[in-house]
A and B are shown apart, each in its own frame.
Chain A
């Protein structure tokens, strides 16, 4: 069990670093989704299935969806600005 937790902790650390260091917001959004799912696995291994459950949905669906929609909104506005 300890080995699983150790591996997941390292995985979360690496994934979090990748999210923070990525430059392109779209890439960051995809990485943030993956990072959220590794967090959920870690929570599961840390005796917190309740937290893992909400993390799966928030990290895997809700947050990326909001981020993608915000990026789409900004991109649509930029294209509109270019047309004029």
Chain B
């Protein structure tokens, strides 16, 4: 099909789609006028029953924990798929000879200083966000991506990294799998100790506002954080064709 024909077909379809969306959106509640009962019910259990102050994390890791488990496995599977696709390419001779030639970062001194200064604080923020998931906005998903961003900062700062020739299991992959398995194991712990898969009450409630409160929610957040950070680092490392976690001294 030629480009212009394609655009005409698309325009016709887009007009229809726009009409359908207008029709559908007309039946939605007015902006700001949401009156669903879901939130009210969740709020009634979150604080009093589970000592979790962040109702979003509470919903994600308690009420809808099975759903989150599936989301986490999408991340897990997507990371593996990306790695499999990219590794398939790397296995071919044109690239395998000089793995060190590829994308070697040429870093300006300013970037090195900023990167070195940022790496520590970013790691602390990531761990802080993961740890306080049940209390304040944050949690495993957010903290996990921040943790992965730390790896980006380190590489951007020009830390010399080495590609170990086929040494499985690499650290990020280990973290990646550990997080995914941890989530399931914590779910099974709920089945064993509290009678339902992903029931979070078995770990005790703790005091509202304390770091360790909200039952198993903090543990699930740690598992998710490891999973997400591992997944993104594995993907980025594969794109870089380097292992970001084996950091060598800069060569002068």
Contacts and interface: CB of A to CB of B under 8 A. Distances in A.
Do A and B have CB atoms closer than 8 angstroms in the complex? yes
A61 interface: yes
Given A50-B56, A62-B148, A76 B102 contact: yes
Contacts, number: 48
Contacts of B236: 62, 65-66, 69
B13 interface: no
Interface in B105-144: 129, 137-139, 141-142
A72 B149 contact: no
A53 interface: yes
A81 B29 CA distance: 56
Given A50-B57, A62-B232, A66-B236, A72 B103 contact: yes
B154 to A, nearest CB: 12
B235 interface: yes
B42 to A, nearest CB: 14
Interface string A35-52: 000000000000011101
A65 B239 CA distance: 10
Nearest to B228: A54
Contacts of A62: 145, 148-149, 152, 232, 236
Contacts of B54: 50
Given A66-B236, A76-B102, A76-B103, A50 B138 contact: yes
B103 A65 contact: no
Given A62-B232, A66-B239, A54 B102 contact: no
Chain A CB count within 10 A is highest, among B103, B148, B239, for B239
A76 to B, nearest CB: 7
B139 A50 contact: yes
B216 interface: no
A49 B56 CA distance: 10
Nearest to B126: A57
B226 interface: no
Contacts of B7: none
Closest 7 pairs between A and B when the two form their complex, measured CB to CB: A69-B239, A49-B137, A57-B145, A53-B142, A61-B149, A54-B142, A50-B137
